[in-house]
């Protein structure tokens, strides 16, 4: 499976009469896109705004951020299952708009009020201490969607997601017929057989009994699946992306999925330091301990059957899903597969408390990406996109506060892409 | 050029030149000049500052009459208004290490004056005081004095002038157990690939989070006789009286509360509500007895199957709470239940 990804770097976005790519300037007919989005009856009204890195701008009610990608040759489509047929992707040529994202902002009515299925607030600051994740540094075209009343959570999720994917697709279409300034080939070529073989196990929680259990594979919701062997190029073509119910810190954006830095690093090292075997998409957050154990064992078995000597394991979520992370590391090491685990830490407000809530003695090679728990104050901003108010703790007080003001957050959960699950950045923890 | 710093130095009776073990009861003495190792500190300090007072305390005086000794030391130190307090070095002397740790802790926490001490990593005082002050590692004996004094002096000077102190490994003090957030030069993905390469080729690597193995909790012995037992209901489901009178947060909570249920045969949905960000609480909202089975326990009590249902429901919100906080809450709840002669608890999550 050979995939050439052509990148068109975007350095400015301008609203204009026609949607087209003009060198590294993306010109967008806002009106055309708004008309397209508003065709969906679930969406009462759409607005489109632009947010630039470094501005004193805050985007609220963030649901997702999507990178415009389009397949120009080869089977299938990018974001398969959602944007087209379920033909296996990861081959041919894909074009992407580099350095930008379509950001979805929508405040869901509180149909599901509590728990992981509820739409929690997610805030994206384009500058300052809250500009933590990679999508704070992209040119963001923000779709601000007002949802029509009378539909279900599942309807809204689908409407919001499709609005984003359709806009992303329309923008990516501007690259058709053009030669990309940058090109990179992704192929797991046969390499020196003495190189150690490495698998990437990417864990994702999904919660059952929800209209949107969180994640789709070729457009199909991942429910309580066993681990799945996939080609990294399928992920690059958008086969695995989250829904659009709420983009808080433990829900990486679609943009991050297709730009996964572990996949990038393993491809870089392929043929030199190691042989990159492939990816295991590992669903987690089973609700019975034996099921967690089974899932971990099966992931390790799959890695072993595929010939892995080593593995990098990443996970997303909080608490519940972390247990599978540790159990999988244990199962891999017991199969003789040398494992590195990447995780954020807890540690409480000041860093005294235990960094991890569950451990196994085999987890001796851990990469830390910082802490979820430390309080953070987001300063007042000049401009807010997406609304005037937000609610940080709907399950408790339900208090709404002005979105433009200073926001004292007790932890980083409400920050969109606030946790670096896959190692894009350089934040880490060290002992004092 | 900053103005000369003022240091108060604490030593024990031996390093203070008073005597050996036979003088371990020495009560706090004050000298307004460097004494013992303080002479070396003053020499290393040069023009940058001076030891304005040396406090000498007997090892037994400090460890056996700690409250008195601590107060005396604090009172003396406050009078001299130092910019930093140095204690020791104590090497592997246990009582001296405790005294050094206690002086430093008191001064930093009560007077807000920075402090530093030095001792062997095996000194039992290290685990007790490492969080409260800075402890530099020394050898086991005073033979390492020439090595530690310049480092101790330099560190104290930095504290006195308000220099920011970096991570333990870089600055050479013993880790205090605080995890701080920093920026590495390389991305985490890059570090992950490099750590895996090292692990695969047998090269050395260092985990970024040392794994703490949690002590397993041994279960208590089973009840011999249910019919005489008092059973308490304890829950992490966040079920609280409607209106959330104690203002529980839906995640990352660190408090627990008790609510009287003696008068209730069941929990009514218009009187109780779940505050919890980790589960879909619709079903608990419709019928709170699903997460806290008060109705069933009251029936069992009426039928004589159990002796008594404890008069209070004990509640916290169990999601996103650090382990130490959970341990502390658990211990506090146990104290409460023991006081009320509760025999067993039924602990419901969500």
Is A114–B274 a contact, with Cβ atoms under 8 angstroms apart?
yes
Q: How many CA atoms lie within 13 A of B234 on its CB side?
A: 19
Hey, which residues 127-156 in chain A have their CB within 8 Å of chain B? Answer: none
Alpha helices in chain B (DSSP H): 37-45, 59-64, 66-80, 94-110, 125-129, 145-160, 168-171, 188-201, 282-286, 294-303, 323-339
Ramachandran category for residue A248: left, alpha or beta (phi over 0 → left; psi -120 to 50 → alpha): beta
- Pairing of β B84-87 and β B5-12: parallel
Please name the residue that has the structure tokens 């005073």.
Answer: B142
- The pLDDT tens digits of the residues spanning A148-180 come to 999 998 999 999 999 999 999 999 999 999 999
* Long-range Cβ contact pairs of B153-159 (< 8 A, separation 24 or more): B153/B40, B153/B41, B153/B44, B153/B45, B153/B86, B154/B44, B155/B116, B156/B5, B156/B7, B156/B41, B156/B84, B156/B86, B156/B116, B157/B5, B157/B45, B157/B48, B157/B49, B157/B84, B159/B83, B159/B84, B159/B114, B159/B115, B159/B116, B159/B134
- The pLDDT tens digits of the residues spanning A172-211 come to 999 999 999 999 999 999 999 999 999 999 999 998 878 7
d(Cα A202, Cα A214) in Å, to the nearest integer? 15
Provide Rg for chain A, Cα atoms.
21
d(Cα A62, Cα A45) in Å, to the nearest integer? 16
* pLDDT of A349: 85
- Pairing of β B134-137 and β B115-119: parallel
Q: Let me know: does B104 contact B85? Beta carbons within 8 Å.
A: yes
- Could you tell me where in chain B the CATH 3.40.50.2300 domains are found? 5-171
A309 interaction partners in chain B (CB closer than 8 Å): 200
SS3 label, residue B52: strand
SS3 label, residue A160: helix
Say whether residue A401 is in contact with chain B using an 8 A CB cutoff: no
Say whether residue A364 is in contact with chain B using an 8 A CB cutoff: yes
DSSP-derived letter for residue B222 is P
- The pLDDT tens digits of the residues spanning A360-377 come to 999 999 999 999 999 999
DSSP-derived letter for residue B109 is H
Hey, which residues 94-153 in chain B have their CB within 8 Å of chain A? Answer: 131
Is B280–A112 a contact, with Cβ atoms under 8 angstroms apart?
yes
Provide Rg for chain B, Cα atoms.
28
* pLDDT of A7: 98
Q: Six-digit token pair at A252? A: 């990486």
**Predicted structure pTM score:** 0.84
Which residue numbers in chain A have pLDDT < 70?
113-116, 395-397
Q: Please list the pLDDT of chain B residue by residue as tens digits (350 residues).
A: 578 999 999 999 999 999 999 999 999 999 999 999 999 999 999 999 999 999 999 999 988 888 999 999 999 999 999 999 999 999 999 999 999 999 999 999 999 999 999 999 999 899 889 999 999 999 999 999 999 999 999 999 999 999 999 999 999 999 998 999 999 999 999 999 999 999 999 999 999 999 877 777 888 999 999 999 999 999 999 999 999 999 998 877 889 999 999 999 999 999 999 998 778 888 999 999 999 999 999 999 999 999 999 999 999 998 877 777 888 899 999 999 999 999 999 999 86
Whether ipTM > 0.85 holds is yes
* pLDDT of A116: 66
Is B252–A310 a contact, with Cβ atoms under 8 angstroms apart?
no
* pLDDT of B1: 58
B245 interaction partners in chain A (CB closer than 8 Å): none
DSSP-derived letter for residue A247 is -
* pLDDT of A40: 97
Say whether residue A265 is in contact with chain B using an 8 A CB cutoff: yes
Residue of B nearest to A319 (CA): B320
* pLDDT of A212: 79
Give A180's contacts (C-beta < 8 A, 6+ positions apart).
Answer: A6, A7, A8, A95
Is A430–B180 a contact, with Cβ atoms under 8 angstroms apart?
yes
- The pLDDT tens digits of the residues spanning A297-319 come to 999 999 999 999 999 999 998 88
* pLDDT of A114: 67
- Which class in CATH covers the domain with range B5-171? alpha beta
B180 interaction partners in chain A (CB closer than 8 Å): 351, 429-432
Hey, which residues 101-120 in chain A have their CB within 8 Å of chain B? Answer: 112-118, 120
B332 to chain A, closest Cα gap in Å: 18
| A310 closest CB neighbour out of B165, B178, B196 | B196
B281 interaction partners in chain A (CB closer than 8 Å): 113-115, 395
For residue B127, the tally of other CB atoms under 10 A from its CB is 11
Sheet holding A43-51, edge to edge: A43-51, A139-147, A100-106, A62-66
Say whether residue B276 is in contact with chain A using an 8 A CB cutoff: yes
SS3 label, residue A174: helix
Mutation choice for A interface testing from B169, B170, B196 by most A CBs within 10 A: B196
Q: Six-digit token pair at B249? A: 């947060």
d(Cα A256, Cα A238) in Å, to the nearest integer? 10
Is B322–A346 a contact, with Cβ atoms under 8 angstroms apart?
yes
- The pLDDT tens digits of the residues spanning A72-92 come to 999 999 999 999 999 999 999
Q: What percent of chain B has pLDDT over 90?
A: 85
Is B280–A117 a contact, with Cβ atoms under 8 angstroms apart?
yes
B280 interaction partners in chain A (CB closer than 8 Å): 112, 114-118, 209-210
* pLDDT of B245: 94
SS3 label, residue A98: strand
Measuring CA to CA, which residue among A10, A65, A102 is closest to residue A417? Answer: A65
* pLDDT of B75: 96
């Amino acid at each position: 499976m050979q995939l050439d990804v052509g990148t068109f770097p975007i350095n400015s976005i301008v609203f204009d009469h026609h949607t087209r790519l003009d060198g590294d300037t993306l010109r967008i007919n806002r009106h055309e896109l708004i008309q397209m989005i508003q065709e969906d009856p679930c969406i009462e009204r759409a607005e489109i705004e632009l947010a630039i890195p470094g501005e004193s701008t805050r985007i609220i009610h963030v649901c997702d951020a999507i990178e415009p990608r389009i397949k120009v040759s080869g089977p299938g489509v990018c974001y398969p299952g959602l944007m087209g047929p379920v033909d296996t992707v990861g081959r041919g040529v894909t074009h992407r708009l580099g350095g930008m994202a379509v950001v979805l902002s929508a405040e869901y009515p509180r149909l599901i009020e509590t728990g992981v299925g509820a739409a929690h607030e997610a805030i994206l600051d384009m500058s300052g201490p809250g500009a933590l994740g990679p999508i704070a540094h992209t040119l963001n075209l923000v779709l601000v969607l007002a949802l029509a009343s009378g539909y279900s959570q599942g309807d809204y999720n689908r409407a919001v997601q499709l609005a984003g994917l359709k806009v992303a697709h329309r923008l990516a279409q501007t690259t058709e017929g053009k030669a990309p300034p940058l090109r990179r080939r992704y192929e797991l070529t046969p390499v020196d057989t003495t190189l150690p073989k490495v698998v990437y196990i990417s864990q994702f929680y999904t919660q059952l009994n929800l209209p949107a259990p969180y994640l789709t594979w070729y457009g199909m919701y991942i429910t309580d699946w066993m681990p799945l062997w996939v080609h990294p190029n399928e992920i690059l073509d958008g086969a695995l992306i989250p829904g659009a119910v709420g983009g808080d810190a433990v829900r990486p954006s679609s943009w991050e999925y297709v730009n996964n830095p572990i996949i990038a690093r393993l491809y870089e090292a392929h043929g030199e330091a190691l042989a990159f075997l492939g990816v295991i998409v590992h669903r987690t957050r089973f609700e019975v301990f034996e099921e967690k154990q089974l899932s971990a064992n099966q992931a390790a078995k799959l890695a072993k059957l595929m010939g892995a000597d080593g593995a990098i394991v990443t996970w997303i979520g909080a608490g519940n899903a972390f247990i599978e992370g540790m159990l999988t590391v244990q199962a891999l090491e017991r199969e003789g597969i040398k494992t590195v685990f990447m995780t954020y830490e807890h540690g409480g407000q000041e860093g005294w408390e235990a960094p991890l809530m569950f451990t196994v003695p085999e987890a001796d090679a851990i990469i830390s990406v910082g802490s979820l728990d430390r309080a953070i104050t987001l300063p007042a901003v000049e401009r807010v996109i997406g609304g005037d108010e937000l609610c940080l703790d709907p399950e408790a007080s339900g208090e709404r506060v002005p979105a433009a003001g200073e926001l004292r957050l007790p932890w980083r959960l409400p920050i969109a892409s606030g946790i670096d699950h896959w190692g894009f950045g350089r934040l880490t923890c060290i002992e004092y | 050029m900053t103005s000369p710093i003022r240091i108060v130095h604490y030593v024990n009776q031996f390093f203070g030149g008073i005597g050996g073990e036979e003088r371990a009861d020495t009560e706090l003495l004050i000298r307004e000049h460097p004494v013992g190792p303080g002479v070396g500190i003053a020499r290393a300090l040069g023009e940058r500052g001076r030891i304005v007072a040396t406090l000498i305390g007997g090892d037994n005086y400090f460890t056996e009459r700690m409250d008195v000794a601590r107060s005396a030391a604090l009172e003396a130190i406050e009078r001299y208004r130092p910019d930093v307090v140095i204690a020791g070095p104590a090497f592997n002397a246990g009582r001296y290490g405790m005294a050094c740790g206690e002086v430093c802790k008191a001064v930093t926490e009560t007077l807000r004056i920075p402090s530093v001490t030095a001792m062997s990593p095996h000194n039992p005082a290290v685990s007790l005081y490492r969080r409260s002050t800075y402890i530099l590692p020394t050898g086991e004996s005073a033979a390492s004095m020439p090595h530690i004094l310049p480092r101790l002096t330099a560190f104290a000077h930095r504290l006195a002038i308000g220099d920011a102190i970096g991570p333990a490994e870089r600055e050479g003090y013993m880790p205090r157990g605080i995890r701080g957030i920093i920026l590495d030069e390389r991305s985490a993905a890059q570090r992950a690939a490099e750590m895996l390469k090292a692990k695969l080729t047998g090269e050395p690597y260092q985990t970024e989070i040392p794994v703490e193995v949690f002590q397993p909790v041994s279960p208590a012995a089973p009840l011999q006789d249910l019919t005489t037992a008092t059973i308490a209901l304890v829950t992490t489901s966040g079920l609280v009286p409607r209106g959330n009178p104690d203002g529980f947060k839906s995640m990352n909570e660190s408090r627990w509360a008790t609510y009287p249920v003696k008068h209730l045969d069941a929990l009514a949905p218009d009187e109780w509500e779940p505050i919890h960000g980790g589960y879909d609480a619709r079903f608990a909202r419709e019928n709170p007895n699903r997460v806290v089975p008060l109705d069933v326990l009251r029936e069992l009590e009426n039928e004589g199957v159990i002796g008594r249902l404890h008069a209070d429901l004990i509640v916290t919100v169990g999601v996103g709470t650090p382990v130490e906080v959970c341990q502390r809450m658990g211990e506090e709840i146990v104290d409460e239940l023991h006081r009320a002669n509760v025999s067993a608890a039924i602990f419901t999550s969500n």
